[in-house]
Chain A
């Protein structure tokens, strides 16, 4: 035996090192693995004080409150089978997915990822890997809503007639002290006034506005109505109030507006392009179209459910569990404001 060890000591040493390495690997990869447990044939989620908390128990406890989740699952299946995604839709979904994923990687990634996964599960998607599916569904549902609203625009536009809906453009003039303009600032202000008088507001904005983002879009700030808030638009409330006071085609005097983040006060000219609902709905700008669509959906409680039901009629739907059907219908009634 000792001769065998002497003759093969090197091989044995290597074998011991390998076994130690593999042993550590096994220990390390096992240490966070939970032990399976069952109780009366049911899987156990956790134990406490010798009492088992089973998967079945948790499921049964939660199902009285699962109307929202069941509705989301129902909606996902209807939307994905009612809309054929175009290349543009896929690109938009991909962009949305990338935005969320980049936030995950820039923040405390594991915690944030868990939070996203939990959110996705409440929307009816069972893993973080389904993030794209969720994003695509939202884009598809927007397209479905748009198609329905387009087909029913004449009846739906009534809900917006008192909303002060409008498309707004702005020109920003940065000044050191709004109360005491320098000669240079006065000159620029005069040039802007002359450009508006002699041409279009859009051209004047492109040529003179100190706000690069809106200037690049002919001064377009976007869609606005009486429900718009400074947090949703990212501009000071005084600018919104001024824009909502103007008639179609009108331009405001110079107003002082405080920047939301820096607190710096600048001078603004505000212009209302149009208050015509059809023109707004058919705007060339996607963000205006989307914002107006959401406003119409918000102005008619349950409209999104109506759109979904309209699409559902074209699919073969069977509820094997009648309680599920009842819960989904109750939930949709609540969204439409028809609940008892």
Chain B
């Protein structure tokens, strides 16, 4: 065998390693305008669009594909989008003119490109709470409960006894709850977002075998502890999913979690080097075909 062959193969591989792929449009050389000695082409404009808005536009296109797969447009969604537009145009009679100035052909295009996707996004978020139950349960430990924050340990013990005797939590709260507290025995969804509550209470509620009075007084872990007693109403995820979706739907980390979940489900893959590099630096969690990068992103969240 010729001794030069391995060297040639290695050299070719090294050169391949240095090459990157950036996309272009088909008629990139078509001229848009010539100002004196400067000519701009469609390719020039494409580069600037890709660099200024490309990462967001590609994710937007990906979301449209996800919506189509997961929550396709229904008549009810169309009606909701139309109602949203009616509200906008009632509040601002110049809406249609302003839309045309922005570049939309008119009301219908605005509804189709902006309002309907927004309605679909809400529907997708609701669906996400069903589809990704395991992640949400393990991250937020949701449960429906009546929690009473008491003045001190002694009052908390008395409150616990009263609950065990069958007294209603709101009644108990009237006697023992801290006046300024937001935990006064009302039925509420408890999650890890309730940072005021003791973590042990949140975990105990989420893992309790059956509804009822929680068997102990829970105290926060600080110098001036707060004391809580609670009654678990339900920690059945399926039963509570609507309330969980309503409460956590606006959580920004869940919006991102929702997007990443469906990008993963549908195997989102980037084929443009500049876009890849941008996501790698700014949103590595989107690069779902590269678990080494998405893991780094979740570690730094």
Contact = CB atoms under 8 A, between A and B. Distances in A.
Interface in A113-158: 114, 117-122, 124-127
A124 B33 contact: no
Interface stretch (A62-70, A194-202, A218-226): A62-70
Given A33-B273, A34-B273, A77-B35, A57 B61 contact: yes
A53 B19 CA distance: 22
Contacts of A111: 281-282
A321 interface: yes
Q: Which 7 A-B pairs have the closest CB atoms?
A: A121-B51, A43-B23, A121-B52, A49-B266, A77-B35, A65-B103, A122-B52
Interface stretch (B41-49, B73-81, B126-134, B237-245): B41-49
Interface string B247-286: 0000000000000000100111111110111101110000
Given A48-B268, A121-B49, 14 more contacts: A33-B21, A37-B271, A45-B54, A46-B269, A49-B66, A70-B32, A73-B40, A77-B40, A81-B35, A111-B282, A122-B52, A126-B48, A127-B51, A315-B36
A111 B277 CA distance: 11
B97 interface: yes
A8 interface: no
Nearest to B48: A121
Interface of B: 6, 10, 13-14, 16-21, 23-26, 30-38, 40, 42, 44-54, 57-58, 61-62, 65-66, 69, 97, 100-105, 263, 266-273, 275-278, 280-282
A229 B143 CA distance: 50
A118 B56 CA distance: 11
Contacts of A318: 33-34
Nearest to B97: A340
Contacts of B18: 29
Contacts, number: 207
Interface residues of A, number: 71
A339 B94 CA distance: 12
B33 A74 contact: yes
A104 B103 CA distance: 34
A332 to B, nearest CB: 12
Interface string A172-198: 000000000000000000000000000
Contact of A48 (B65, B100, B103): B65
Contacts of A330: 101
Nearest to B19: A33
B17 A53 contact: no
A25 B25 contact: no
Interface of A: 19, 22, 25-26, 29-30, 32-37, 41-49, 51, 53, 55-59, 61-67, 69-70, 73-74, 77-78, 80-81, 110-111, 114, 117-122, 124-127, 312, 315-321, 324-325, 328, 330, 334, 339-340
A225 B57 CA distance: 42
A303 to B, nearest CB: 20
Residue among B19, B97, B104, B271 with most chain A CB within 10 A: B271
Given A49-B65, A126-B48, A55 B24 contact: yes
A124 B32 CA distance: 14
Contact of B271 (A47, A63, A120): A47
Nearest to A60: B25
B14 A25 contact: yes
Residue among A22, A47, A81 with most chain B CB within 10 A: A47
Nearest to B12: A26
B80 to A, nearest CB: 24
A119 B69 CA distance: 33
Nearest to A319: B33
Given A121-B51, A126-B47, A58 B101 contact: no
13 contacts: A35-B21, A49-B65, A49-B267, A53-B61, A58-B61, A61-B61, A70-B32, A74-B33, A74-B35, A126-B47, A319-B32, A321-B33, A325-B33
Nearest to B263: A48
B51 A117 contact: yes
Given A49-B267, A56-B26, A320-B31, A66 B21 contact: no
A61 B281 contact: no
A32 B61 contact: no
Nearest to A64: B103
Contacts of B21: 33-36
Nearest to B69: A49
Nearest to B17: A29
A320 B14 CA distance: 43
A83 to B, nearest CB: 12
B29 to A, nearest CB: 11
Contacts of B97: 339-340
Contacts of A65: 102-103
B52 A46 contact: no
B25 A43 contact: yes
Nearest to A52: B271
Given A48-B62, A114-B281, A66 B49 contact: yes
Contacts of B102: 65
A100 to B, nearest CB: 17
A110 B18 CA distance: 21
